[in-house]
Amino acid sequence: MSKQDKTVRCAIYTRKSSEEGLDQSFNSLDAQRAAGEAYVTSQASEGWTVLPALYDDGGYSGGTMERPGLQALLADIKAGRIDVVVVYKIDRLTRSLTDFSRIIETFDKAGASFVSVTQSFNTKDSMGRLMLNVLLSFAQFEREVTGERIRDKIAASKAKGMWMGGVPPLGYDPPTDGSRKLKVNDEEAEQVRLIFARYLELGSVHALQRDLEARGFLSKLHVTAKGKPMGGLPFSRGALFHLLRNRIYLGQIVHKDQVYEGEHDGIVEPDLFERAQRTLNGNARRHNASAEHRVTKAPLTGKLFDANGEIMSPTFSRGRSDRVYRYYVSASLQRGSGKSDDAVVRRLPATAIEAVISQTAARWMPRESAPLDQIKAIRIVDDGLTLDCPAAFTDDIARRLIGHERIIFSSAKLCRIHVAVTLPIRGGQRLIIANGKPDIRPDQTLIAALRRAHSLLGRDRKGMPLIEVSPSAAYQRMLIKLAFLAPDIQRGILEGRQPNSLNLQQLIEMKIPLCWNEQRKALNWASAI
């Protein structure tokens, strides 16, 4: 095949940093493509031909590689569909030397090259590459200087109190008269004042969030220049914290750590705003002090994970008797996006799980003064827990079994220990039973139901239970079955020796056999005795 017969497939890449003017019938991208097509036509004698695919990036900076047109271009180059890339100027391809080196590497691997219409050079020799690097250095310098000028202009404008764009906060509308002064939205401004007032009344952002959701308050709805709606949703706690801290409601503009008087009007009285700040600061101090105190009581913080891999963080609740109860709760459940009765364990009593882990760590690392501190991670698995420990502390007992504990993975640095525990629910609470040993704990809910079942019965002459009148309530009809359980089963329930997984809900929903031996089989009672 002669040189003239060889086809050189040319792709034209175009880019424009801003979206201004792209809606015109003939825009900058069209002009760049026309110049590229003309250049390819001039090389027709060399077999150059333009590919029909468009590789355009309108509104994308040359300082990033995250451009759809560029990514499509690189993908086609890797696939061997392109021989030459034609650009109007080098800075249309990239303005970053680092990105340029990546692009050139992709070109070289695929045997492709590129040409600039307005800049003559040849990348096949060292001098051409040097000239290319010099041109790109100036392009990157120009981009950085432009960025510095924009940042300086924004800082100077904010110092004069101007609004420099972005999503306007609730209570204001963006300027429409060409100025940089926010316009007060009277209806939203009233909502903002009510939010500040309600926060002072409730004293908690969490309570404020629930109150606003009940009132139907939504965040500000904003439509971007591309027509994409943003906001218009119930307030999150983070959004409320930001709103209550936003000094723009005092008629001020904030730039980094500096506060300036703004051109716009304030919509919150300074006294109301400052009282809200004092409450926020007071709550923050109490939260931080409480958090520091709680961390000392939660040694598994940052180490405990549920079966889904979610971190389980310490939480606290206070009962009616003012007693504090500690738990480890999955992150999704704390955010309100999970259910506590899921198949995945999401809540564990802190004292019980800490006791199991502490005892296990002490057995496997007897020489350590604080073995619990050496535990790297604890994960809940289907048949128990796994503990990750430093291998150096467990080498001397690596081949020994301790009860129902064993090493399931070992390396030079890590030793993973499996601990056989069960995590049943009894009496509405999650229990932790270590080493497969049953926990003797009467289920008061189950005992109360058993007593209620007997109260619904009469007795024959021998004292045996007898149904005189069928209860009218459906729940009582289900409950009365408990009175006909085998005597040893009823005695075991009173003593707390029932199977760990047995609860009232399971009993009233199941079909209980009349034969006592069948009852024991159905309830797996042999393992509980």
Low-confidence ranges of the chain (pLDDT < 50): 1-2, 292, 294-295, 341, 395-401, 426-427, 436-438, 527-529
DSSP for residue 96 = -
pTM: 0.41
- The answer to whether the CB of 349 falls within 8 A of the CB of 326 is yes
Please state at what angle helix 97-110 crosses helix 68-78, rounded to 10 degrees.
30
Q: Where are the alpha helices (DSSP H) in 251-394?
A: 270-296, 331-334, 350-364, 371-374
Residue where a domain terminates, one of 391, 422, 453: 422
Extended beta strands in 84-219, E state:
84-87, 113-116, 172-173, 183-184
Extended beta strands in 199-323, E state:
222-223, 229-230, 252-255, 258-261, 304-305, 312-318
Please indicate, yes or no, if residue 36 is contained in any of the structural domains.
yes
- Cα–Cα distance for residue pair 294/286, rounded to 1 Å: 12
Please indicate, yes or no, whether residues 309 and 416 belong to a single structural domain of this protein: yes
Say what the pLDDT of residue 232 is: 85
- Cα–Cα distance for residue pair 389/202, rounded to 1 Å: 46
Total domain count for the chain? 4
- Cα–Cα distance for residue pair 8/85, rounded to 1 Å: 10
Please indicate, yes or no, if residue 161 is contained in any of the structural domains.
no
Extended beta strands in 17-110, E state:
48-50, 55-58, 84-87
Please indicate, yes or no, whether residues 353 and 252 belong to a single structural domain of this protein: no
Say what the pLDDT of residue 194 is: 92
Please indicate, yes or no, whether residues 375 and 406 belong to a single structural domain of this protein: yes
Please indicate, yes or no, whether residues 345 and 230 belong to a single structural domain of this protein: no
- Cα–Cα distance for residue pair 182/165, rounded to 1 Å: 10
Buried b (16+ CB within 10 A) or exposed e, 450-475: beebeebeeeeeeeeeeeeeeeeeee
Residue where a domain terminates, one of 354, 389, 422: 422
Please indicate, yes or no, whether residues 237 and 320 belong to a single structural domain of this protein: no
Please state at what angle helix 126-159 crosses helix 97-110, rounded to 10 degrees.
140
Q: Read off the CATH number of the domain in which 52 is found.
A: 3.40.50.1390
Buried b (16+ CB within 10 A) or exposed e, 318-357: eeeeeeeebbbbbbbbbeeebeeeeeebbbbbbebbbebb
Burial of 527 per CB tally in 10 Å (0-12, 13-18, 19+): exposed
Say what the pLDDT of residue 244 is: 92
Please indicate, yes or no, whether residues 133 and 63 belong to a single structural domain of this protein: yes
Please indicate, yes or no, whether residues 136 and 185 belong to a single structural domain of this protein: no
DSSP for residue 223 = E
Please indicate, yes or no, whether residues 20 and 97 belong to a single structural domain of this protein: yes
Please indicate, yes or no, whether residues 13 and 101 belong to a single structural domain of this protein: yes
Say what the pLDDT of residue 195 is: 92
Which amino acid would we find at residue 514? L
Say what the pLDDT of residue 99 is: 79
Please indicate, yes or no, if residue 122 is contained in any of the structural domains.
yes
Please indicate, yes or no, if residue 163 is contained in any of the structural domains.
no
Please indicate, yes or no, if residue 296 is contained in any of the structural domains.
no
Please indicate, yes or no, if residue 165 is contained in any of the structural domains.
no
**Which is it for strands 377-381 and 384-390: parallel, antiparallel or unpaired?**
antiparallel
Please indicate, yes or no, whether residues 15 and 132 belong to a single structural domain of this protein: yes
Q: Read off the CATH number of the domain in which 227 is found.
A: 3.90.1750.20
**Cα angle 76-81-83, degrees, rounded to a multiple of 5:** 105
Please indicate, yes or no, whether residues 402 and 473 belong to a single structural domain of this protein: no
- How crowded is the C-beta side of 487, counted as CA atoms within 13 Å? 2
Please indicate, yes or no, whether residues 64 and 121 belong to a single structural domain of this protein: yes
Please indicate, yes or no, if residue 293 is contained in any of the structural domains.
no
Range of the domain at 200: 172-280
Please indicate, yes or no, if residue 44 is contained in any of the structural domains.
yes
